[in-house]
Amino acid sequence: MFRQHNRHFNNQRNQFNQRRKSAVPQGPRVVIPLKPDFSLSESRTVKFSISLPAEDEEGAYEKTVVEVPKLTDDATPMQALNFVREFFSACETMSWTTGAKRFEKIKQVLEGKHKAVLLTYMNEENSRSVDSFQAAMDTILAEFFEETVDYEDQMVYLHTGLKKPSTMSPN
């Protein structure tokens, strides 16, 4: 009974993974270089600012400014990682906590095909939730990186693909 249930679960998981893989475009195998392959000073950025009342002085304001690099069509995988890090850092700093606010702000820093993917999500999704925003980001990043191999696939490989060497002597 347990094996039959487990087999049914694995079949459902495999069908889901096949649908997911066919929905996300597969990009080239990527190796992230140890040194940056771009110059931060040459990257085009968008500035966002917010002024909030200062806590220590009556009538005074504190201005916070963040810069987020643009994600262009010819961006490298390392530039994509830098973009994601800087955008989510800006989300935290500027208190962009809702999906709607993140969709609104990221439109300003995406270009070309990446912006087209985002606009498709915005037009097709009824929800502007953080989850739908994350799904749009995952689709954009799938163009740069391979889909991760899940734990079960790795374990199957380890159990079936690797063989113990015939001799275990230190010579």
The number of C-alpha atoms within 13 Å of 85 and in the hemisphere containing its C-beta is 6
* pLDDT over 70 (residue 143): yes
Q: Is residue 95 part of a domain?
A: yes
CA distance 3 to 34: 45
Containing structural domain, residue 132: 43-146
Residue 112 lies in a domain: yes
Q: Is the overall model pTM greater than 0.75, yes or no? A: no
Query: Which one is predicted more confidently, 17 or 103?
Result: 103
Q: Does the residue 123 lie in any domain?
A: yes
Q: Is residue 130 part of a domain?
A: yes
Domain count, the chain: 1
Higher-pLDDT residue of 145 and 77 is 77
Let me know if residue 62 belongs to a domain: yes
Q: For residue 103, is it within any domain?
A: yes
Contact 77, 144 (CB under 8 A): yes
- Reported in sequence order, the residue ranges of the chain that DSSP labels E, i.e. its strands, are 45-53, 61-69
167 within some domain: no
Does the residue 139 lie in any domain? yes
